[in-house]
Amino acid sequence: MVKDSRTPEGAPRKRASVTEQEALDFHSTGRPGKLEIMPTKPMATQRDLSLAYSPGVAVPVKAIAADPATAYDYTTRGNMVAVISNGTAILGLGNLGALASKPVMEGKSVLFKRFADVDSIDLEVDTENVDEFINCVRYLGPSFGGINLEDIKAPECFIIESRLRELMDIPVFHDDQHGTAIIAAAGLINALELTGRDLKTTKLVCNGAGAAAIACIELIKAMGFNPENIILCDTKGVIYQGRTEGMNQWKSAHAVKTDRRTLEEAMKGADVVFGLSQKGAFTEEMIRSMAERPIIFAMANPDPEITPEEVARIRDDAIMATGRSDYPNQVNNVLGFPYIFRGALDVRARQINDAMKIAAAEALANLAREDVPDDVAAAYQGVRPRFGPQYIIPVPFDPRLISAIPVAVARAAIESGAARRVIADLDAYGRELSARRDPIAATTQGIYEQVRRRPKRVVFAEAEEEQVMRAAVSFIGQGLGTAILLGRDDVIRSTAERAGIELDRPGIEIVNARLSTRVEAYVDYLYARLQREGYLQRDVQRLIHNDRNHFAACMVALGDADAMVTGTTRNYATALSDVRRCIDAKPGHKVIGVSIIVSRARTVFVADTAVHDMPSAEELADIAGEAARLARRMGYEPRVAMLAYSTFGQPRGERSERVREAVKILDQRRVDFEYDGEMGADIALNAARMEQYPFCRLSGTANVLVMPAIHSAAISTRMLEELGGTTLIGPLLVGLDKSVQITSMGAKDTDIVNMAAIAAYNAGM
């Protein structure tokens, strides 16, 4: 992902990480693993079961027997990929066996679903014998629309993929090879453009001759790169014509006629170097010897062949990409495989050929050249990424990927003859894809990315609780900033020791309110605010000494911290009351709570879910404005529905009159977002029912719902959360002059981290 690799002070930033225990807890909590299977059809009645199984299932069985192509219409085949490995090359861990590869393969399946709505199942094949592996996989073709091979060592992976492509009539794609090649090719296209180089005359060195390196070389040759200008190196040096040591047929295919024998010799005068080898492979002398404006792709993971900081000290004219998420221009396979399979599946492709790979690379390159939309730029808060040396590859949370890459792949499949289904209107197909993936997860990732670019000091007000400590450790581990743990030092440390939480690490501070040198300043500040509200100075002293919410809020109010998160041990209303004694509303704003409901089909913002009990018409108008601003800040164009029991005057009621009056107030304010009401929730969220009211001002279904009272907002959101099928985020606290977020009581550590990240994000607004 594209991000600044330095803190605001200019020091190199540490790579985000998680502890071993956090990783184990993540995979074991609740239902073990990361996948489950859910039915897509109703199973509530006997009739449903009769249609799903016997006797109804016999009808599609006969149809498929008569015409095998209809399997794409009547089964999951057209949206199902198998992720298959034998565990011989797991990540950077080596050959640990098929069973050990299962967490990785499950994770790959999750990424397919998360980024491109492709259903996937992981299959671990317990053999290292090439023929046995091939014979196992080849007969699985009827079950799937595509095969994603993963973590299979070279050179066996070349043989396996090649033979399966010949034997099967569905796409077989080894992502370790081609995924890296496609993303690297996209970055190379743009780097060549920026440096004014031509594909046919550029000189490239590739260090590493494994699966990914060979795939990179083969793809750029297919794109038109002159083979004579490519030098491939391995651990024994240059792969040249006539070399016999350490050779195989795949290396021999890329041997060149040259008198250069070492990597150092090969890189002299080179325009481009691809690193797919190991940490430290590129030296200062090698980088210094390259041509002007060199292009350096140091893609070894987890540590690149040379870091951007090291290159920057050597020369200032280089364009760099790495495999790391904490540097600009990340060569991240998730930019490719989900979307490539999405396009291939939708045209029922027989294979993923070179034309489709090149189309994906070119689409990625073109996307990086386009103006970045607001929902991506929101992650950068005013630092909008622009096409240039620090932005030659799109970021994984760019919501345009789902419509750009699959369309390009589908078009190439159709034009090259690999498709069995032709999509007549590819523009409409792109629009359909955009609606298929909900952007809220991308927006949340964008929030995290922005916070990593500008880390904040966040107070965790209830730090004596174990889940709060875990959240703080995760917060700093993900590179989000400094976590200030507020509480008694001895209690925090003893609890952490019992729980196995390591707190002695950079980025964690423990503050005891009773021992702080800032107590007097906080007392003076709060007493000045509360002395005419019935509080004596000793009352304020007790609040600062004994109540962590007041102490934490004063820290934020006086600039000793950027944001705070609380709520784990007390109810929302009490925590909010504590905070509001210390922090006012932002001038011209209304403090409200906004919950975000995320479902498979859509994302909806609901307000006010936390603050106003029975808002007046004026307050409802204010709430609408605040909620619309939040929605827009998170990448949505707000369409606000002012909800009521009645719809446009029927039936009439006293409470609906307040909503009608709020709409009139918004008319007078001439706001810059769509709104209408009063209307029922069914009208606001159902396009067909909304059509019964052609005068409705909303251009589509509402994505911001303003509730007429807090009870209706709270009841509806909590009910949806408990019924399942939706995720509830929040309520987010909006409108305060300083950044505070309040979790629900008993919140899990992951929920606390999310709220802390949002608090840190808002601190920069």
Burial 18-48 (b: 16+ CB within 10 A, else e): ebeebeeeeeeeeeeebeeeeeeeeeeeeee
Does 742 reside within a domain?
A: no
Please check whether residues 211 and 85 belong to one and the same domain: no
Q: Can you read off the two tokens belonging to residue 359? A: 């189309």
Q: Strand 319-322 relative to strand 295-298: parallel, antiparallel, unpaired?
A: parallel
Say if residue 150 carries a ligand binding annotation: yes
Does 761 reside within a domain?
A: no
Instruction: Find the CATH number of the domain harbouring 622.
Output: 3.40.50.10750
Q: Strand 204-207 relative to strand 272-275: parallel, antiparallel, unpaired?
A: parallel
Query: Among the three residues 416, 434, 468, which one is the final residue of a domain in this structure?
Result: 416
pLDDT of residue 613: 82
Does 5 reside within a domain?
A: no
Please check whether residues 493 and 546 belong to one and the same domain: yes
Say if residue 96 carries a ligand binding annotation: yes
Instruction: Find the CATH number of the domain harbouring 535.
Output: 3.40.50.10950
The CA–CA distances, whole Å, from 290 to 72, 266, 283, 433, 503 equal 52, 10, 11, 43, 45
Q: How far out from the chain centre does Cα 11 lie?
A: 25
Q: Which of 287-291, 296-300, 611-615 shows the lowest mean pLDDT across its residues?
A: 611-615
- Sign, Cα dihedral of 245, 249, 251, 257: positive
Q: Which of 32-41, 126-135, 179-188 shows the lowest mean pLDDT across its residues?
A: 32-41
Q: Does residue 7 surpass a pLDDT of 70?
A: no
Please check whether residues 371 and 252 belong to one and the same domain: yes
pLDDT of residue 440: 54
pLDDT of residue 442: 54
Q: Strand 674-679 relative to strand 319-322: parallel, antiparallel, unpaired?
A: unpaired
Please check whether residues 208 and 291 belong to one and the same domain: yes
The arithmetic mean of pLDDT across residues 36-54, rounded, is 85
Please check whether residues 604 and 712 belong to one and the same domain: yes
pLDDT of residue 581: 95
Please check whether residues 143 and 217 belong to one and the same domain: no
Instruction: Find the CATH number of the domain harbouring 291.
Output: 3.40.50.720
The CA–CA distances, whole Å, from 206 to 300, 314, 453 equal 12, 20, 31
Q: Is 179 exposed, middle or buried (0-12, 13-18, 19+ CB in 10 A)?
A: buried
Residue with more model confidence, 726 or 12 = 726
Say if residue 208 carries a ligand binding annotation: no
62: annotated active-site residue: no
Does 759 reside within a domain?
A: no
Query: Among the three residues 582, 607, 626, which one is the final residue of a domain in this structure?
Result: 582
527-571 tens-digit pLDDT: 999 999 999 999 999 999 999 999 999 999 999 999 999 999 988
Q: How far apart are CA 513 and CA 669, in angstroms?
A: 45
Please check whether residues 149 and 219 belong to one and the same domain: no
Q: What are phi and psi of 522, to 5 degrees?
A: -70, -40
Please check whether residues 130 and 182 belong to one and the same domain: no
Q: How far apart are CA 3 and CA 329, in angstroms?
A: 8
Spell out the residues 6+ positions from residue 735 whose beta carbon is closer than 8 angstroms to its own: 585, 586, 589, 590, 591, 592, 626
Say if residue 515 carries a ligand binding annotation: no
Contacts of residues 282-285 at CB distance under 8 Å and 24 or more positions apart, as own/partner, are 282/207, 282/306, 284/310, 284/314
The residue type of 162 is S
Say if residue 94 carries a ligand binding annotation: yes
464-474 tens-digit pLDDT: 998 899 899 98
Does 466 reside within a domain?
A: yes
Q: How far out from the chain centre does Cα 663 lie?
A: 36
pLDDT of residue 436: 67
Does 454 reside within a domain?
A: yes
Please check whether residues 126 and 228 belong to one and the same domain: no
**Is residue 383 very low, low, confident or very high in pLDDT (cuts 50, 70, 90)?**
low
Say if residue 752 carries a ligand binding annotation: no
Structural domain total, the chain: 4
pLDDT of residue 29: 84
Cα angle 553, 559, 563; round to 5: 50
Say if residue 92 carries a ligand binding annotation: yes
Please check whether residues 154 and 184 belong to one and the same domain: no
Residue with more model confidence, 18 or 210 = 210
Does 254 reside within a domain?
A: yes
**Is residue 1 very low, low, confident or very high in pLDDT (cuts 50, 70, 90)?**
very low
Q: How far apart are CA 298 and CA 296, in angstroms?
A: 6
Average pLDDT across the chain, whole number: 89
Q: Does residue 630 surpass a pLDDT of 60?
A: yes
Say if residue 93 carries a ligand binding annotation: yes
Q: How far apart are CA 484 and CA 756, in angstroms?
A: 11
Burial 263-282 (b: 16+ CB within 10 A, else e): bebbbeebbbbbbbbeeebb
Please check whether residues 546 and 617 belong to one and the same domain: no
Q: Can you read off the two tokens belonging to residue 628? A: 């619309």
Q: Does residue 195 surpass a pLDDT of 50?
A: yes
DSSP letter assigned to residue 417: T
Say if residue 90 carries a ligand binding annotation: yes
The range of the structural domain enclosing residue 551 comes to: 444-582
Does 756 reside within a domain?
A: no
**Residue among 14, 62, 102, 108 flagged as catalytic:** 108
Picking from 345, 389, 364, 344, the residue whose alpha carbon sits closest to that of residue 181 is 364
Residue with more model confidence, 255 or 715 = 255
Please check whether residues 460 and 385 belong to one and the same domain: no
Say if residue 151 carries a ligand binding annotation: yes
Instruction: Find the CATH number of the domain harbouring 118.
Output: 3.40.50.10380
Spell out the residues 6+ positions from residue 297 whose beta carbon is closer than 8 angstroms to its own: 184, 187, 188, 272, 273, 274, 275, 320, 321, 322, 331
DSSP structure string for 96-139: --TGGGHHHHHHHHHHHHHHH--EEEEEE-----HHHHHHHHHT
Spell out the residues 6+ positions from residue 648 whose beta carbon is closer than 8 angstroms to its own: 678, 679, 693
